[in-house]
Structure 1
Amino acid sequence: MTPGRGSPAGDDADEGAGGLLSPPYRALVVGLLAIVTCGAFEAMAVTTAMPVVAAELGGQGSYGLAFSLFLTASMAATAAAGPWCDARGARPALLTGLALMFSGLVLGGAATDFGLFTLGRMVSGLGAGSMIVAVYVVIGQALPSVLQPVMFGWFSAAWVVPSLVGPYVSGLLAQHVSWRWPFLGVAPIVLVAVALVWPRVRSLGLPAAPEGGGHDGRRRALRGAALACGVGAAQWALVSAADPGSNLRSDAPALLAAVGVAGAALAVLSVPRLILAGTWVARRGLPAVMAVRGLITFAFFGSEAFIPLILVNRYGLEPSIAGLALTGGALGWTAGSFAQARSWLPRRLYLVLGPAAVGACLAAVALSVGTQTSPWAIALCWFVAGAGMGLSMSTTSVLTLELSDAAERGRNSASLQLADMLGGVIGTAGAGTLYAHMLDSGSAPGAAGFALIAAVLSVPALFGALAGVRAHAPSSADQEARRA
């Protein structure tokens, strides 16, 4: 996506002299930070509140869908928003994303059954995917290049406070007031963000015409939408077939099977053109980096959805206390990110150590749950797993740029983000389906069931460590053999 005509990034030294909070940029910067903070708080809050939401709305069987369909919708919106911003500028995508985010928060917070709540999560996901792409384009157009790295640093900081206090505050609200307030309370802040950013965004020029007419971008958007639709249909069919409370499970099993097969086929046909060739087999070099990214998000985000549920259902902790485990994971992630930035070890070694730490910690969670060890052991495991993610995620981003030619960095970065999202979707959907299969008795699974979920999810992380061994540039002989 190219900064547009009329971008104020011309005289960077002069225009950036006053900093991000100088009068020309202050309202825009505060509004963008509010957008990111809202998204961060909502992401952290929903995981903590979900055990209460599922119990009150009868959504135990569809528990995983509230997470996976959010990610699926976000994946579809991300694929579509890039070409849209290239063609029309950031304004339509940003306003649409904010409107969808607001609508999704209100719909989720006011839901009277779990189906409506899940629909609200999907709408929020569409908003989040559209909004984050537009925010990046706005930064490219509205801020001089000298201030853009500072803005991205502030974005990282905007995640810190929600990560530290979001789970605890959400748990307190769900426990003592209502689970609805983490959603309804964030919605007005979205409106404030719109009011702050819109005057500045409205004055931005149109984007420069994409090279090649933008046909490739439109094809990629259609493939991304097809992938998201296929993945969404497949996971809905799988969870519905497993959910003991689903009428379709007994009334229309053939329909569920047909939707599941069609969705899986659509996803399989769509994904090869979107993800770098060789990713599925962790081919040496950049494809192995992509494989690491997808495998660790598969394991981590699939598990994260169930950590508060384990602590609430199996250990009887209050939601606010259970949420502190997520805070520990966020602190571990920050520590891991700091460690990789210091380059204390060869960078590619982090792609072995990080996934191995995630896999080992999930195996330890399975053992702790199965033997009813102290819940603080699970919290400690989650802190170390977060550190493993911090080591891995930033390293995959750096290596993607390092191993890409200049002309391929945009496409390869998009492939990395798609591998990230797809891993999270498959992980949460798979864990949710497994959880639904264990609800035949009508109650939450026992300790062995939760231990099984954690143990199964440790496997992709350990495969990620194996892929990390191959995440270095291929030799000249390998390259010549591949060309032949």
Structure 2
Amino acid sequence: MSDTVEGRWAEIFTPRYATVTLIVCLGVALLAFNAFLSTISLPTAVREMGGVALISWALTLFLVFAIVGGSGAALLKQRLGARTALVLSAGVFIAGTLIAASASSMEQVLVGRAVQGLGEGVVSAICFALIPELFPSRLVPKVFGLNAMIWAVAAFGGPAAAGLLTELVSWRAAFLVSVPIALIFAAMVVVKVPAHSPGDRQDVRFPGLRLLMIGVAIMLVALAGLAAPLSAKGLLVAAGLLLVGTVWLDGRSRDRLMPSDAFRPVSVVGTGIWMVLLINVAGAGSAVYLVLVVQQMWGMGPTAAGAIAAVLAVAWSASAIAVANVRSKETRKTLIRLGPAMIGTGLMLVLIGLQLDQVAIVVAGQLIIGSGFGTCNGYLNLTMMEAASDAERDRTSALMPTTQSAGNAIGAALAGVAANSAGLATAVSSADIKFAIVPVYVLGAAMAALAFASAWRMVQLVRPQDANSSFAAG
């Protein structure tokens, strides 16, 4: 069968790949749905149990522990094998869900959300690591396109489903709906995922100190988003030092969490990880503040404001699907460079639309931002996978979703510092809000510019032999 035929969308749904495709999709769906769950269901839980001061930590702890779990996922896969690691982490996720759903206080909900995040962080990272292992390279962009579609569906359907379950049944039901999905996921993993991969080792040491440093650093980042500007800057500096220290320690460890060239601008993988981090830092500020700002400035209701925000997810999904059939290596390089340029342009358009009170310009900016992510994301990940050695591929693949989550957390905190420093928290008039939101979008555009520089450097480092690796050969 020719590569042109084999590379069609239909192939990922053929008997050979359909079960694996569904496993990856379910792993992503659990993360996507639960990322939106707490903001919809927990206000009702707070009215029942109290603890309104803790509500924001439901998402924060989920993300912090998801990043910690994702950071250790590659080593866990090596130690236990993909099948056992996925089944155990799915069990951890289910346990966390049951703790949260049966909670009698917000403190118990937070414990459940932390346990949920830990399990789901491992699940999503190992699912990413399985993509180059179970799919040939010609199908990888389509798998990422499908994942983008799942996030878009979750952006629309997740809040709607959680809202309906909360309103018609209870907030506890909105949590419990994840349990059967996780059980189906675990059953399919037992049947389809290989117990061990070549290169798995049983003597992997538990990287407790490095995982603790990552967790503390991300927690400091989260606290920075809530603190006064001066304190926030100190927290961000401390978090940065911890993360740099973690990378330094990891590079000297026998059992590394990250690829050996992680964050080093001398390799495709090193520059690619910087790009993954920076594009997510760039987009986080707008994601956090856009709905709030259009409601305050233009008097929009939650549905209309949410629709403007969701335009980005739809554009991301549509563009990822549109470019998934590109086979030319040079075109793929162009798409990788184009992505951050579009993200930066879109952010500035959204800012202009807000300043001019033009909804159409804001929507156009959202379309361009989403298309920028969808255009570059699949080929960015594929290029890093192809460039990684066989020994490093698990670490490289598993680090991608973890770096995305870390970028979102860091970006949200930086945007919070920028917005609070400009007086957004106390802004009342439309003019004050317009002034205060400027640094959020300027910061995002600056991060997108740095991501563009990383993209440019990355594609310069791509060697022809990277496309002829055992993974790329499929």
TM-score, normalized by the shorter chain, greater than 0.5: yes
Q: 2:298 aligns with which of 295, 302, 315?
A: 315
Give the CA deviation at 1:350: 1.9
- In 2: Cα distance, 1:171 partner to 1:201 partner: 28
Secondary structure of 1:317's aligned partner: coil
Tell me the number of residue pairs that the alignment of Structure 1 and Structure 2 aligns: 436
- Listed one character per residue, the Cα deviations across residues 86-140 of structure 1 (whole Å, up to 9, x for unaligned) are 3334346534444435635873897976x87766554432231122345578999
- Distance in structure 2 (CA, Å) of the matches to 1:189 and 1:101: 11
Aligned mates of 2:24, 2:447 — CA distance in 1: 35
Deviates more, 1:156-165 or 1:256-265: 256-265
Counterpart in the other structure of 1:358: 343
The residue aligned with 1:395 is 379
Deviations 1:340-379 (A, max 9, x none): 43437632222221101101111122222233222x4322
Q: Would the alpha carbon gap of residues 473 and 370 (structure 1) be closer, same or farther in structure 2, given more than 3 Å must change?
A: closer
Specify whether residues 124 and 155 from structure 1 end up closer, same or farther in structure 2 by C-alpha distance, changes over 3 A only.
farther
**Match of 1:103?**
96
Question: C-alpha deviations, 1:425-457, integer Å up to 9, x for none?
Answer: 211222234445546639797232233212211
Alpha-carbon distance change, 152 to 362 in structure 1, aligned in 2, over 3 angstroms? closer
* 8 Å CA contact retained: 2:351, 2:362: no
Report the Cα distance in structure 1 between the residues aligned to 2:409 and 2:109, rounded to whole angstroms.
Answer: 18
- Residue pairs, 1:449-460, within 5 angstroms: 449-460=436-447
SS at match of 1:352: helix
| TM-score, normalised by the number of residues in structure 1 | 0.70
C-alpha change, 1:206 and 1:161, in structure 2 (3 Å) is closer
Match of 1:330 among 306, 313, 331: 313
Look up the equivalent residue of 1:266 and give its one-letter code: L
Report the Cα distance in structure 1 between the residues aligned to 2:240 and 2:21, rounded to whole angstroms.
Answer: 41
- The residue number in structure 2 matching 1:87 is 79
Q: Which moved more, 1:294-303 or 1:89-98?
A: 89-98
Q: Write out aligned runs for 1:128-143 (5 A).
A: 128-133=120-125
Q: Which amino acid aligns with 2:120?
A: A
- Tell me the equivalent position of 1:300: 283
Cα pair 1:109 1:183 within 8 Å, conserved: no
**Letter paired with 2:124:** I
* Higher mean C-alpha displacement, 256-265 vs 324-333: 256-265
Q: Which residue of structure 2 lines up, in the alignment, with residue 472 of structure 1?
A: 459
Q: Go from structure 1 to structure 2 and tell me whether the alpha carbon gap of 1:122 and 1:289 turns closer, same or farther (over 3 Å shift).
A: same
Checking the alignment, whether the CA contact within 8 Å between 1:302 and 1:457 is kept in structure 2 is yes
Instruction: Supply the AA of the counterpart residue of 1:268.
Output: V
The answer to whether 1:225 aligns with 2:211 is: yes
Q: Which residue of 1 aligns with 2:181?
A: 193
Residue in structure 2 matched with residue 246 of structure 1 by the alignment: none
- The Cα offsets for residues 133-183 of structure 1, whole Å up to 9 and x where unpaired, read as 455789999xxx689998996785476366247436726976x99689896
Cα offsets for 1:387-423 (capped at 9, x unmatched): 1011221121122133334444334434545543432
Query: Which residue in the other structure is 2:8 paired with?
Result: none
Deviations 1:26-58 (A, max 9, x none): xx98787555434323335567x4997999899
Question: Alignment partner for residue 369 of structure 1, among 334, 342, 354?
Answer: 354
Superposition deviation, residue 80 in structure 1: 2.5
1:265 corresponds to 2:252: no
Q: Which amino acid aligns with 2:375?
A: L
* C-alpha spacing 1:110/1:55, structure 2 compared with 1 (3 Å): closer
Partner of 2:331: 346
Cα displacement (A) at 1:257: 9.5
**Is 265-274 or 361-370 further displaced after alignment?**
265-274
Which 5+ residue runs of structure 1 have no aligned equivalent? 1-15, 244-248, 477-484
Structure 1 residues 121 and 442, CA gap change in structure 2 (3 angstroms): farther
CA-CA distance at 1:83 after TM superposition:
2.6
Answer whether contact 1:44 1:162 (CA < 8 A) is retained: no
User: What is the CA-CA distance between 1:329 and the residue it aligns to?
Assistant: 1.4
Q: Deviations over 1:173-194 (max 9, x none)?
A: 76x9968989644433322234
Q: Tell me the equivalent position of 2:221.
A: 235
Q: Deviations over 1:267-308 (max 9, x none)?
A: 221024355677657446443333222211111234323332
| Unaligned residue ranges in structure 2 (runs of 5+) | 1-12, 252-256, 464-474
- Tell me, what secondary structure is at the counterpart of 1:470? helix
8 Å CA contact 2:69–2:119 kept in 1: the answer is yes
2: CA distance, partners of 1:189 / 1:177:
9
**RMSD between superposed Cα atoms in Å:** 4.9
Structure 2 residue identity aligned to 1:370? Q
CA contact (8 A) 2:77 2:200 kept: no
Query: Matched residue of 1:341: which SS?
Result: coil
